[in-house]
Amino acid sequence: MRFASVNYEQRGTTALITLDEPGKLNALSPGIREGLVAAFAQADDDDQIRAVVLTGAGDKAFCAGADISGFEFNTRYARDFMDRVLDVLSLPETTGKPVIAAVNGYAYGGGFEIAIACDFVLASKQARFAVPEINLGLLPGFAIVRLAELVGRQQAKYLSMIGEPISPQRACELGLVLEVLPHDQLLNRALELAEQLAHKPQLAIRYAKSVYNRSLGGADMTYAKDAMPVLFLDDDTREGVAAFREKRKPVFK
């Protein structure tokens, strides 16, 4: 089954959701975003599905983040963009079933964020994690309200202010990743974990997810949606995005 640019496959009691624009490193294009909304709705509505595995097509990328090719530099566009994207990135949190990210390559920006929104993150040894938005004059809208709780305030500041990629081993040390696996074992391990979860009492699984996630969203997410668009008016942001498009080093003033 296919929803826009996302493949959906039922494997027993597991829904395997695959971002499928490998030529664009599975960036969060309109097709990927539309497909994710439909795929998670399908998994949520199917009583046979007890767990979800989320991964990316190809060997290079899980998800390389936002597709910035159509960015416009005004606050109305930015606010609408934040609304759409943040709601998609939070899908793994808001679905009632456990979600496992099988990170097979680059998880940058929005790809990093949708991974940490999952209940469990498994990573290939060739995966890389980053929130590089600072290099565009921006900040990670979703991770900015999640990272401190996951890795502590100092590490969250470092990751979002420096923006450099980290290895899966370092991500595991920070608590962002549960297990690091050989690339060819990643998907099987994710499906195995999904099967383990499927054999547990499902009401207890749902309550566990609900309780652990009870403080997520709410005012923090609303603040991110309201505050982040201001950055789209900054000259450094225009320069950062232009440099990215032109494949050159930005000159921030």
CATH number for 87: 3.90.226.10
pLDDT of 215 > 70? The answer is no
Among the residue ranges 27-36, 85-94, 167-176, 210-219, the one predicted with the least confidence is 210-219
The predicted structure's pLDDT at residue 113: 96
Alpha-carbon gap, residue 52 to 48, rounded angstroms: 11
| 194 lies in some domain | no
Predicted confidence (pLDDT) per residue in 55-68, tens digit: 999 999 999 998 77
The whole domain housing 26 covers: 2-185
| 21 lies in some domain | yes
The predicted structure's pLDDT at residue 238: 82
Please provide the DSSP assignment of 104-149 as one string: -SEEETHHHHHHHTSSEEEEETT-EEE-GGGGGT---TTGGGTHHH
> Could you tell me the pTM of the whole model?
0.91
Among the residue ranges 30-34, 134-138, 173-177, 216-220, the one predicted with the least confidence is 216-220
Choice between 120 and 216, residue whose per-residue pLDDT is larger: 120
Question: Is 133 among the catalytic positions?
Answer: yes
pLDDT of 223 > 70? The answer is no
Number of domains in the chain: 1
| 234 lies in some domain | no
| 206 lies in some domain | no
Write down the catalytic residue from 72, 93, 133, 239: 133
What DSSP state is assigned to residue 57? Answer: S
| 68 lies in some domain | yes
| 13 lies in some domain | yes
Helix H or strand E segment including 18 = strand 14-19
pLDDT tier at 242, thresholds 50, 70, 90? confident
| 250 lies in some domain | no
pLDDT of 130 > 80? The answer is yes
Write down the catalytic residue from 9, 21, 34, 113: 113
| 111 lies in some domain | yes
